[in-house]
Amino acid sequence: MALRSWDTENAPSGTMMSVSESGWTKQGLAQLWFEDVFLKNIGPERPQALIFDGHDSHHHVEIINSAIQNRIVLIELPSHTSNWLQPLDRTFFGPMKTKWRKQLSNLMAETACTVSHANFFRLFSKVWGSMVAEPEKLRNGFVATGICPFNPNAIPEEAYEPSKHYAEKSIKGESKSRFICSLKLIVYQF
């Protein structure tokens, strides 16, 4: 599958692109990102940690093996918790999503057009260009999630409550403390 219909010439400078048939990140794409983007941009200091969400494409044996070989500690967040536990979701991607929604609202109000392959990168570049990855803002994400400095009280109680999906299925006989324990991080170490 190619990106022929996309306005790739309007992508932010330095953008690397790959595509899957389904549009979802798959094993090969995650491994490509890990080796060609992440490893090439983190510098030589080891060990280092990579905190990521629990999507199936992120924990294949090839990525784990590559992480072990490169002395990268993989820290996988439980599913459906990245809005609480992922530092960059709290201080960078969350605000970026808000700006993206505003960009889409403005597009609809001004032109009655929708986002398509032909205008996606032009619109996204405006949002991306308005984002500033200030070191202090990024550090604040680690504080907000209680990762560094460690603060187990940084995450509010509501984060530990089952989502509507799980509440509908009802967790019978399970105590709240058991549910909280299920939110522990999964760490792959070398």
The dihedral sign for the CA sequence 64, 68, 70, 75: positive
The dihedrals phi and psi of 73, each to the nearest 5 degrees, come to -90, 120
pLDDT band at 141 (very low <50, low <70, confident <90, very high): very high
DSSP H/E element including 180: helix 176-181
99 has pLDDT over 50: yes
- Lowest mean pLDDT, pick from 39-43, 65-69, 77-81, 123-127: 77-81
Collect all residues with Cβ–Cβ distance below 8 Å to 172 and sequence separation of at least 6: none
pLDDT band at 24 (very low <50, low <70, confident <90, very high): low
First to last CA, the chain: 36
187 has pLDDT over 70: no
pLDDT band at 125 (very low <50, low <70, confident <90, very high): very high
Residue 50 in tokens: 């990579």
Which pLDDT score is estimated for 156? 86
User: Per residue in 109-133, is it b (16+ CB within 10 Å) or e — as a string?
Assistant: eeeeeeeeeebbbebbbebbeeeee
Which pLDDT score is estimated for 43? 93
Query: Considering the chain, what percentage of its residues have pLDDT values greater than 70?
Result: 78
The dihedrals phi and psi of 60, each to the nearest 5 degrees, come to -80, 155
Q: Which residue has the higher pLDDT, 26 or 16?
A: 16
Q: Rounded mean pLDDT of the chain? A: 80
Count of C-beta atoms within a 10 Å radius of residue 50? 17
Q: Helix, strand, coil % (nearest 5) of the chain?
A: 50, 5, 45
Average pLDDT estimate for 136-165: 84
pTM greater than the 0.85 cutoff: no
**Ramachandran class of 170: left when φ > 0, alpha when ψ lies in -120 to 50, beta otherwise:** left
pLDDT band at 45 (very low <50, low <70, confident <90, very high): very high
Average pLDDT estimate for 145-171: 74
